[in-house]
Structures are given as C-alpha cells and as structure tokens.
Chains A and B, each alone.
Chain A
C-alpha cells in the first residue's frame, strides 16, 4: 500500500474530506495538492523532493471549513501539527497525519508524539556551515553578515506566508496606524521585520526551515528563528512541537528563571 491507495481509501470511506499532499510540479519540484475526490488520488507523490511543510494549510479558512483532513506529513509537519494543537488552532479530531511513507495513520496527538520519538532531527549541512561561520565571528562581523544578507530582502513576506505558525489574521506587519514596522525594503525596515518575525516565533518555531526555503533570494532567515528557539530550549527547557500540551514559553514564567545580565 502507498499514499495514493491510502488516500483513495480514506476518501472513499468518507474518513476525511480532503487529503493534503504533494504532486509533481515544474522542473522536478513538488507542489502542494488538495485531493478531494478519490479518483484524483493518483496525482499524489511522496518522496525526498517533497520539502514544504503542509501544516501551514491547516489554519487556512478554506481548509478549516472542510472538517477532517489528512495531511502527508514529514517529521517537521508533525511537529507543526502538535504546536498548532498546543496553540488551539487545530482540533485533534480534524487532522489525520499520514506519516512515514504516507501509510502510517496518526489520528491523535499521542500517536504523533510517539511517532516523533522515533524520528531523528538533524540540522542540514548548509545551516551547520553558516552557524559555524557565525560562531567564529565577532559582533561587528555578525552585524555585517546579517546586513549583507538582509539587504537582499524584497519584503515579499513569503517567509511569513509559508510558516505554519504565522496564522494571525491581522499581522503586525500589516498594521499601518501607526506604521509600526516600515513597509519599504530598506535596511531599517528589513532588520526590523526580521527581528519581529523571529521574536514572534520564539518558543513557537518548530524548526522546519520552510521560511528559508520559501525565500526567493536565499537569505538564511530560518536561522534567526532557530536561534530564538535554541535560546528558549536552553533557558526554559522546552521545545515547540514536542507536545500538544505545551505552554507558550513567553506567556509563562518560573520565579527562578536564571539570567546573568539584569543588574
């Protein structure tokens, strides 16, 4: 059995209203596919080239309206689903994750958590290389590095739109009375935008790296959110996407939180 057959079954039995998966796109790429009829399930593919985190569609109004949907899920997608459950954006009964080769049905948060325990998580070599370089730089060099990278940003907001955790109906970036973050893609606007994005995802980023993949000019912006996530993990001992019952790190506290810089 493969994902196609599984999806056909699920749709024929009426277990789910739609299957969100991948199909062949142009130039060998994979693109998201929304399969609502069993006979269309043949379009689905699920292989190494399927990189996008499909959990991002679960919070879209069009998908919410459908009811229960199945999602072809890589480990990143599973973590995003758990985090969306923790943030009460997705109901447990409305998602069926199809993990592994696409035939492992994970219908509950507990099943997803157990499955994730078997998946190893590794930072891609390219990211490791950049982080390694950054760790050898001093502050002024890091500033120069990010200024050079961010100078290419065109403020297309693809990073925001691809992110499964950026589901706010009214984003602070769209707030223009007063204009909190400059819209234009100049140096200050770009820095402030990426700073806000990283901070708003601190303790919520599941480290799928989809923002970096979505970036049309190839800025490693996912490293900013990863950095916030690592600080959260190191200092507060929790990781987004680990459980469907996780408190948001920045809206909780422990009286004995340890820092070293407050005088």
Chain B
C-alpha cells in the first residue's frame, strides 16, 4: 500500500511580521497543517529569487514567501523592493515554464496568527491537489551538488 502524497511546503518568512505572526498562531493554539517548513530571514527584501529555485531543487512541492504588509516594513522599504522583484521573477518563471501555482506570495502581519494558519492550510490543500512537483525533482536528480 502506498502512502498518500503529503506535500513539502517551504515558507520563507520575514523575522518581523510573518515569523511573529506564525509564532502567534502557535501561542494562540490554532491548529494548522504540518506540511510547512518555516525559514526565517531578516526581511522579504533579503529573499533572493534563487532561494525559491533552490527550494524546488531540494524537494519542495510548494513555496510560500511572506512578509510585512506594505508600509509596515521594519526596514522601511524591504517589502517594496521584494514586491518589485517578485513581479519580475514571477513573469520569468511563467515564461520558462515553472509552475507559478506552487509559489504563493503573501503579506501576513505579526497580529495575523489566524491568517497564517489559513494561508498554510490553503496552500497545502492546493499543492496536495497539484501533486508532487516531479518536473523539477527530476531535473534536480541530474544535478545533485
């Protein structure tokens, strides 16, 4: 008997809003799906586009990128810069045929614990429906570093 598919979701979150928000989810005892691996970075402005590609290469089926709402950045403008980067990168991914449905960008503030749970649940469910990201995994098998 084969195990049902459980997606691996990698979440790149900023230290000041979404990480604190996810913390609040925990302290509020809100239950959410455990498929997500949270990676904390100083700011969404710090999240290199290649980190997303690396996440897929190392076996993620879906990626969440989340930070402070516009105007709330701890470093004033990191999220604005990030937003521009994602606007371009998402177009490039789509042009190169990478599945953009597997990448979710969102703003989750430190007060939105419930929203974080909701986001993770939504993403996990939709990626579970999409199935494993075999295209990228097969690619990565040829290039194990």
Contact = CB atoms under 8 A, between A and B. Distances in A.
Contact of B143 (A188, A232, A255): A188
Contacts of B106: 262-263
A107 B90 CA distance: 39
B80 interface: yes
Interface string B125-136: 000000000010
B83 A253 contact: yes
B74 to A, nearest CB: 16
B99 interface: yes
Nearest to A254: B80
Contact of B95 (A192, A224, A235, A263): A224
A262 B143 contact: no
A226 to B, nearest CB: 10
B75 interface: no
Contacts of A196: 50
Interface string B71-106: 100000100110111111111101111111000111
Interface string B13-32: 00000000000000000000
Contacts of B143: 182, 184, 186-189
A199 B140 contact: no
Contacts of B145: 179, 182
A142 B91 contact: no
Nearest to A180: B50
B53 interface: yes
Contacts of B95: 134, 142, 224, 227
B107 interface: yes
Interface residues of B, number: 37
B96 A195 contact: yes
- Majority DSSP secondary structure for residues of B touching A: helix
Nearest to B78: A253
Contact of B142 (A186, A203, A228, A254): A186
A2 B139 CA distance: 53
Contacts of B70: 255
A227 B76 CA distance: 30
A187 B139 contact: yes
Interface stretch (A8-16, A28-36, A54-62, A143-151): A143-151
Given A142-B96, A199-B89, A255-B70, A188 B84 contact: no
B97 A140 contact: yes
Nearest to A230: B91
Contacts of B80: 253-255, 257
23 contacts: A134-B95, A140-B97, A142-B94, A142-B97, A143-B96, A181-B50, A184-B143, A187-B139, A188-B57, A188-B142, A188-B143, A199-B88, A224-B96, A227-B91, A228-B92, A232-B88, A251-B81, A253-B80, A257-B80, A257-B87, A259-B83, A261-B86, A263-B119
Interface of B: 49-50, 53, 57, 70-71, 77, 80-81, 83-92, 94-100, 104-107, 119, 135, 139-140, 142-143, 145
